Amino acid sequence: MLTKDKLGDNARGAFIMTLLSGTAYETVEHVDPKEHQKKDGDQLLWQLLDARFPKLEAVDELSEILTEVFSLHAREGENMKQWTARASGLFDRCNRKTGVGFPEEATRGDFKRESIASALRSCYPELVVKKKAIALVDEILAVETSPQ
């Protein structure tokens, strides 16, 4: 809202309403236009939205992002370049949002993320994940993680 300095005080609520859709819109659609088309009417909308979509606690955010990291797998039709870019982005987002970083190197040899990504792209430049490959990986993981 700070960038909308020419927007009048009584128009801020109406402007917010034009930006909303889906569940966010449903959260505030019952508000009488007279209530949000006045000075500080935007504050009413923000209060309703904050109540419906509370900020995640640090532990919840950590759980959410780590679940994404540990369930990371290639998607059907995704090539190696796309997968490494998506994986790197996810690791970076995990570090930014939670402060949890994954080591760039392992103990033996050069296992830097970028080195591995580069090697995979050079070895498999045309690799595109097929649905059959995803099912095979899932089956292998199920066997390896099942109790003996």
pLDDT digits (tens, 9 = 90+) for 8-59: 888 888 999 999 999 999 999 999 999 988 988 899 999 999 999 888 787 7
Beta carbons of 81 and 72 less than 8 angstroms apart? no
Please report which residue ranges of the chain form alpha helices under DSSP H: 12-19, 22-28, 33-36, 41-52, 58-70, 80-98, 113-123, 131-145
> Does 140 score more than 60 pLDDT?
no
Long-range contacts of 71-74 (CB under 8 A, 24+ apart): 73/134, 73/137, 74/129, 74/133, 74/134, 74/137
pLDDT (0 to 100) of residue 106: 47
Residue 120 sits in which domain range?
A: 58-145
Do 67 and 15 lie in a common domain? no
Do 38 and 24 lie in a common domain? yes
pLDDT (0 to 100) of residue 142: 60
In-domain check, residue 112: yes
The domain total for the chain is 2
pLDDT (0 to 100) of residue 85: 87
Render pLDDT for 52-109 as a digit per residue (tens, 0 to 9): 988 878 778 888 888 888 888 878 888 878 888 888 888 888 888 888 887 665 455 6
Do 48 and 87 lie in a common domain? no
CA-to-CA distance for 45 and 1, rounded, in angstroms?
13
Produce one character per residue of 88-97: b if its CB has 16 or more CB atoms within 10 Å, e if not.
eeebeebeee
Average pLDDT taken over every residue of the chain = 80
CA-to-CA distance for 128 and 148, rounded, in angstroms?
34
In-domain check, residue 120: yes
